[in-house]
Structure 1
Amino acid sequence: MKQMIKTIFNIFNTHRKQHPIAMGLSIFCAVLLISSEIWFFFAAPPAENWIAQNLNSIKINHSNAYAFAVFGDNKNSHSAFPELLSKVSQDPALGFAMDLGDMVFDGEMGKYQYVLSQIHKNMKIPLLTAIGNHELHEKGRGLYYKLFGPFYYSFKIGQDSFFVLDNANEENLDQWQHQWLEKELEKAVDDSHRFVFMHVPLFDPRGGKHHHCLPPESARSLLNLFKTYKVSHIFASHIHSYYTGNWEGIPFTITGGAGGELVGKDPKHDFFHYLKVSIKGADVNITVVPIATPDFEWLDRAGSMAWIYLYAIIRLHGIEIAIFLLMAYALAVAFEVKKTRNHD
């Protein structure tokens, strides 16, 4: 190890003397890269106790007649998601919104900063969140908890109860969350409505080879609990499409069209959208609100989805990429000059 470090130092020292400008530029770029990482590490978080603050901001004038929006899987979308937020904010009937998870491509701080800046810029009503499996990547649960708060929680509006769950592990609810949920549902048994929000659906409505859902045993356990306490509606995402139906008497809607990649091309299901849920007394009306979506030719859609992530990477790490390329160019110039001199 010592010999390797010594060899690297000797090579660096030789090039520094022969090509001081190029090597100086490389060192400067390296310092900038390290500084940017240090800044991200020590910078103040873009949010703190987000869920609690937004819960306190919900203002519903008539608790028996109100509306809210539901969507999921924006995954650092650069165009569809801001459009969705703006459209939601322009609807005066909506009192709050629920993001069902996979807000970011992974749980890196920079990606949270990006999505939260989109929300601050385009969202005018309180936004609540559920944790998705992509939030578990990178810094995972610790960073999500620091920014947003609890992984699962409940709240009430009038005589309606809302339950936000954490099944981001794509496996099950842990025993503590399961016990908590059963107690909360029991307390709400006489409420007008009981709405459940979670990232991963109980079952995959596409059937066949598709299993983008909880394992059968976990799904059955939860469904039995929901049937026992007569849950009014289940909202999930994870599948980047729109589906609605009935799971053994429990109405469900899958809404995964907030801007992440669309894997299918069925115009009935695979499009960008959000849900508008309107409550009026005992009635619950769910409207699907579409957002501009690439057409259904596979080449156009594949190109659009690839651009979503390429653009997001450039927006999130553009400065670091530029510095790295400049450093690489300076090193390449230095080595090329040496090669030319040796050849001469």
Structure 2
Amino acid sequence: MLFSTLSWLRWVGCAVALGMLGGCELLEFSPNAFNGPKDQTDLTAKNLARLEANPLRAGDTLRFVFTGDSQRFYDHAEKLVESVNRQSGLAFMVVAGDISDFGLAREMRWVDDQLNKLDIPYLTVIGNHDQVGNGREAYQHVFGPLNYSFVYGDTKFILIDTNSREYNFNGRIPDIGWLQQQTRSLDGAKRQVVLCHVPPLDGDFDPKLTEPYAQTLAAAPKLTFALNGHTHRFEEGQPFNDGVTYIGSYSFQKDQYVILTVWNDANDQPRYRLKTIAF
């Protein structure tokens, strides 16, 4: 009887403690839960709004930061932010996917805790690690659409999900039809840029879609370059020998990032230069 009474008292004590924690919203019952502060939802839309509030005049040169794969390298993010904030003339930063390691919303928020200290907005594209478990839904909750585009100044940016393996190579990712529709029109811009996570010659890219993807980019008017993450190393080249330059990003772990500067020359053709920054 004494044992039963003590057990019951312990159970009541635990229930009260859990109730108090739950009432304060301090207890997260699942690591896959999306609950979190409202200011860390729809971050893509919020950062695009910040861009719109600081427009770039027509004809002005655009400078932006290109990096990728923050994943578990959170201890490198603080120094990256400090370095970026020391640069001048930057419009925004793009992160080429794999913001998280295990597709958890809390990981994405941890990265945002650092990146929201940037003096400039930042934008992301979804990576394969961001789709682990229910990561796809978490990414959409924290950031927003998997495929989207926007125009800033004279440049149109097209961001597309190319993580084919996460869809079991179903022949629909990347969405070639959507990409073709986006690249056909500059929407008033003078050049365009495509950003994805998995590059088209990688084993995680659907091999059935490699050729149509490359052909779509080769046919895109005024394409400056195509950007990607995933490999964790900087690369620059034309792997298809079709005139399209592909540039891969450093991961956060490499303590380096790239500043890209884009403009149109006297013949109205897109030009760029890049600079690697170590921090």
TM over 0.5: yes
Partner Cα separation in structure 2 for residue 275 and residue 123 of structure 1: 16
**Structure 1 pair 246–199 and aligned structure 2 pair: CA distance change class (3 A):** same
Matched, 1:149 2:144: yes
Matched, 1:195 2:193: yes
Write out per-residue CA displacement over residues 52-94 of structure 1, whole angstroms, 9 at most, x where no aligned residue: 1111211244443120111110113232122112211221211
Match of 2:210 among 219, 222, 226: 219
**Structure 1 pair 239–276 and aligned structure 2 pair: CA distance change class (3 A):** same
Partner Cα separation in structure 2 for residue 14 and residue 110 of structure 1: 41
Match of 2:183 among 182, 185, 199: 185
Between the two proteins, the alignment pairs up a number of residues equal to 259
1:258 maps to a residue whose letter is F
Partner Cα separation in structure 2 for residue 135 and residue 237 of structure 1: 13
Matched, 1:136 2:131: yes
How much does 1:174 deviate?
A: 2.6
Q: Normalization by structure 2: what TM-score?
A: 0.79
More helix by share: 1
Counterpart mapping for 1:1-344 below 5 A: 14=3, 17=6, 36-38=27-29, 42-58=35-51, 59-63=54-58, 64-120=60-116, 122-170=117-165, 171=169, 174=172, 177-188=175-186, 191-204=189-202, 211=203, 213-230=204-221, 231-247=223-239, 248=241, 249-259=243-253, 271-282=254-265, 283-291=271-279
How much does 1:215 deviate?
A: 3.5
Partner Cα separation in structure 2 for residue 124 and residue 239 of structure 1: 27
CA RMSD of superposed structures (Å): 3.2
Q: Which ranges in structure 1 are unaligned for 5 or more consecutive residues?
A: 1-9, 205-210, 260-270, 292-344
Whether contact under 8 Å (1:99, 1:130) holds in the other structure is yes
Whether contact under 8 Å (1:46, 1:147) holds in the other structure is no
1:36 maps to a residue whose letter is L
Partner Cα separation in structure 2 for residue 172 and residue 191 of structure 1: 33
How much does 1:49 deviate?
A: 1.8
Partner Cα separation in structure 2 for residue 198 and residue 287 of structure 1: 20
Larger radius of gyration: 1
Write out per-residue CA displacement over residues 158-183 of structure 1, whole angstroms, 9 at most, x where no aligned residue: 33211101113344773793222211
Q: Normalization by structure 1: what TM-score?
A: 0.66
1:166 maps to a residue whose letter is D
Partner Cα separation in structure 1 for residue 220 and residue 187 of structure 2: 6
Secondary structure of 1:145 counterpart: helix
1:253 maps to a residue whose letter is I
Secondary structure of 2:180 counterpart: helix
**Structure 1 pair 199–15 and aligned structure 2 pair: CA distance change class (3 A):** farther
Deviates more, 1:71-80 or 1:194-203: 71-80
Per the alignment, residue 5 of structure 1 pairs with none
Partner Cα separation in structure 1 for residue 262 and residue 174 of structure 2: 31
Partner Cα separation in structure 1 for residue 174 and residue 112 of structure 2: 30
Write out per-residue CA displacement over residues 270-306 of structure 1, whole angstroms, 9 at most, x where no aligned residue: x332110112333211112223xxxxxxxxxxxxxxx
Per the alignment, residue 315 of structure 1 pairs with none
2:50 maps to a residue whose letter is S
Secondary structure of 1:194 counterpart: strand
How much does 1:45 deviate?
A: 4.4
Q: Which ranges in structure 2 are unaligned for 5 or more consecutive residues?
A: 266-270
**Structure 1 pair 37–158 and aligned structure 2 pair: CA distance change class (3 A):** closer
**Structure 1 pair 33–125 and aligned structure 2 pair: CA distance change class (3 A):** same
